[in-house]
Structure 1
Amino acid sequence: MKRHLRGHAYGAVVAVGVLLASSACSSPSADSTQPKADLATRTVRPVDGCGDTSWTDPADRSPTRGPARCRPGAPAPQPLPEPRKLTIATGTLSAEYVAPLQVAIDKGEFKQEGLDVTLKVLPTPDALPLLAKGDIDALWAAPEAAVMNGVRGGFDIRWVAGNFSPDPKSKSGLWVRLGDGESPDRVAMAGRRMGTMIGKGSVIAYPMEKALEAHGGGLDRIQYQQLGSADVLTALQNGGVDSAWLLDPVWRRVDGEPGYAFLGGQPLGEPLGGMLYGPSLLDDDVDAGVALLRGYVRTINTYFATDYKKNETFVTYLAKLLKSDEAILRSTPPLRMDWEIRTGTTDRLQAAYRAQGVTEGDTLPEPKTVNRALYEEAVGHRP
């Protein structure tokens, strides 16, 4: 059964998702700060193969924190009594962070749960109203400004599982072209022009803010120039912009080159995106919501638990599955796949969005933005 939002909330959500409207949207529906009744009363049982290492304290933001892990093949499938078709929206099918979903489908991990999962390519602003309405079941993205504004405007949406944190060797993030007399330790960022393919309102605002503030800048003290993915590096190299947010594997083109400096990237040990659920899996069919995360967690434990790029056969398979260049895939460090969500991440993201001027109002409390209960049930953790 699909549940539909009230008309006034749905209309506000469309505006929020497409226009990044402020918190002046129509007032939210019933208070959603309390746990869903069916989640609060569900029985959580120990899961074979998922012991003490299958959960880490959400407050632990140590860069050296190891991600939670169960044994390969765990948690074991628990097929639903009736098969269920699910649609997950994602901005891309080829990025490495989508690999666990692609592998789970290809290897039949979701099918073992009784789930027929389809990935549908949709940008987050287009997917949000569909998720809130129940026309799609989940969104593989991040709690971006559009999501936060949507929740404020009436969305019944929660961030329910993380995706990854970077390898310590990764230099995906903020790069700057050094001026005369500048050293990588002392870069004056205030007033610089930054090239980015993502623009304002993305989760990179949070790590970018940290990097800028360490060098005399700030999200409100730089100029943004949104560019196509193929143009960001070129603009940085030819002087069209002073700095740029370079993704894997583009940063390798300037790494070690004189005149460039890496100022920082995504925090180690802190996922900034992953799975978002709407009412379809939060309310209408929680069993399917848990089953989807169980298949996802099992895929990580089976195929991505350690440095998966040391397995040459698997990297070849992954490149074909993602339709990506195998040499490029091998050229960057592996992602640290991580299904857990750290305490306070959405607070820090919202602070960055306010600094960019793409959201207003008080910070939404974490129970309105995050729900860890489903992945905790999947691994048998009792809070």
Structure 2
Amino acid sequence: MRQRSMLIRGGSLAALLSLLAAGVSACGESASSGGDAGAAGADACPTAETTGDITLTVSSNLAVFAPVLLAIQDGAFKKAGLNVTVQRLSAAESVPLVAQGKADAQVTSYSSAQFNAVSGGVDVKWILPLDTQPQARDDAVLPGFWAREDVVGTGAQPDFAKLRGQTIGSQTSGTGISGKILSDALAQGGLGLPDVKITRLVGADALAALKNKAVAATWIASPGEIEASKTAGLRRIATYPPGVTGTSIIAGPKLLDRPAIAVKFAQVISETVKKYLVGDYRKQPESVTQLTKALEVDASVIQQTEPLVFDPDLSMAGADKFLDDLQAFFLKENALDYKEALPASRLIDTSVADSARTCSRAWFQP
């Protein structure tokens, strides 16, 4: 008998967000009209006098969030006149806060929660990208799904068919890009998500469950892949495909309605990438020093993990296709609270990144 996947829908969350959207409208706090063109433009270019407060939500100090965390750590936001504070919340917990204007933006990975929020009438938009995935070497030690060799074998390719009926861990219970990555991997063995049991595992618990044989496979987030690679009997079976990963800054009405603040925020992130995260930053002592503080890890962790790729130009190229593909996957899995696909123009606002590139940075002080 086929096991039912735990790819869950967010019905109660969507209902809450619909009420919140109605409340925001009733209070006269209009959202950015945006679409793909967005609210930012030439008149949104920041100056030295552009200052303000920004509240972000972040689940944890992940390396993929490094540009934001570094800009906080080394005082770049403060020097630019931006008072940026962080609330530690899961992605699901933070969506209502962003919708209500109690937080300005999420630093997160795009998931079903954001799709359902937009469908429910909340104006939240992906405004900035974070990392992109290069073509991975077969022997690269990377975050992703790791499995027990006594289940999937030790051959050149994992035997995905052996995962039928097995329990697999996921930090999002399959509601994010990891769900699609797992689905694509299982398809190589003629399986789909309904053929496995998905359980939520986060952080150190994921690797512990894999070692203890409580699960056949699980998503291992950075820097857990280092220990996983050193553990006999484990192997990586799937990771991000090359290109857009979905790690992003997703803004709500409070930030979208302040385009000059949003653009200055983006420009600080761009300058931070240039300063610390271009090329193999593991070989740059100052980058390693700042990353250890921002990510709260030992220098050895930075030096052993594969360097991530960040674009100082903040290009949103490929984001629309990424969301189209992810949304199509969620719709196929009945994981959304709606049936008709939303256009990318309701999900993405490229104007902040575009203006960050074209607006003067005369205000910037290294």
Same fold (TM over 0.5): yes
How far apart are the structure 1 equivalents of 2:204 and 2:189? Answer: 27
What secondary structure is seen at the aligned counterpart in 1 of 2:288? helix
How far apart are the structure 2 equivalents of 1:23 and 1:340? Answer: 33
How far apart are the structure 2 equivalents of 1:181 and 1:271? Answer: 26
Determine which of 340, 345, 356 is the counterpart of 2:315: 340
Map of 2:47 onto structure 1: 79
How far the C-alpha of 1:99 sits from its partner, in A, is 2.0
Larger proportion of helix = 2
Determine which of 132, 136, 141 is the counterpart of 1:165: 132
Determine which of 135, 142, 148 is the counterpart of 2:115: 148
Q: Which amino acid aligns with 2:72?
A: I
Q: Which amino acid aligns with 1:178?
A: E
Distance 1:85 1:145, change over 3 A: same
Map of 1:138 onto structure 2: 105
How far apart are the structure 2 equivalents of 1:24 and 1:134? Answer: 12
| 2:229 pairs with 1:255 | yes
Q: Does the CA-based 8 Å contact 2:46-2:260 persist in structure 1?
A: no
What secondary structure is seen at the aligned counterpart in 2 of 1:220? helix
Q: Give the % identical residues.
A: 25
Q: Does the CA-based 8 Å contact 2:108-2:248 persist in structure 1?
A: yes
Map of 1:103 onto structure 2: 70
CA displacement, residues 146-168 of structure 1 (integer Å, 9 cap, x when unaligned): 11111101111100111112453
How far apart are the structure 1 equivalents of 2:75 and 2:230? Answer: 42
Q: Does the CA-based 8 Å contact 1:174-1:262 persist in structure 2?
A: yes
Choose 209-218 or 165-174, whichever is displaced more.
165-174
Report 1:1-383 matches (<5 A).
19-21=12-14, 35=34, 39=38, 42-43=41-42, 78-92=46-60, 94-166=61-133, 168=136, 169-179=140-150, 182=153, 183-185=155-157, 186-188=159-161, 189-255=163-229, 259-282=233-256, 284-338=257-311, 339-341=314-316, 342=318, 343-359=320-336, 360-380=338-358
Q: Does the CA-based 8 Å contact 2:141-2:305 persist in structure 1?
A: yes
Distance 1:293 1:260, change over 3 A: same
How far apart are the structure 2 equivalents of 1:221 and 1:23? Answer: 32
Q: Does the CA-based 8 Å contact 2:207-2:224 persist in structure 1?
A: yes
How far apart are the structure 2 equivalents of 1:83 and 1:351? Answer: 40
How far the C-alpha of 1:257 sits from its partner, in A, is 6.1
How far apart are the structure 1 equivalents of 2:36 and 2:296? Answer: 42
Q: Does the CA-based 8 Å contact 2:18-2:122 persist in structure 1?
A: no
Q: Does the CA-based 8 Å contact 2:164-2:195 persist in structure 1?
A: yes
Distance 1:193 1:293, change over 3 A: same
What secondary structure is seen at the aligned counterpart in 1 of 2:168? strand
Choose 141-150 or 305-314, whichever is displaced more.
305-314
Distance 1:41 1:137, change over 3 A: closer
| TM-score, normalised via structure 1 length | 0.76
- Structure 1 unaligned spans of 5+: 1-15, 46-76
How far the C-alpha of 1:184 sits from its partner, in A, is 4.3
CA displacement, residues 235-262 of structure 1 (integer Å, 9 cap, x when unaligned): 2223221111112232333437664432
CA displacement, residues 173-221 of structure 1 (integer Å, 9 cap, x when unaligned): 1122234794342331333210223313122122222222123222222
| TM-score, normalised via structure 2 length | 0.80
What secondary structure is seen at the aligned counterpart in 2 of 1:215? coil
- Structure 2 unaligned spans of 5+: 1-8, 26-30, 360-366
How far the C-alpha of 1:84 sits from its partner, in A, is 0.9
Q: Does the CA-based 8 Å contact 1:20-1:145 persist in structure 2?
A: no
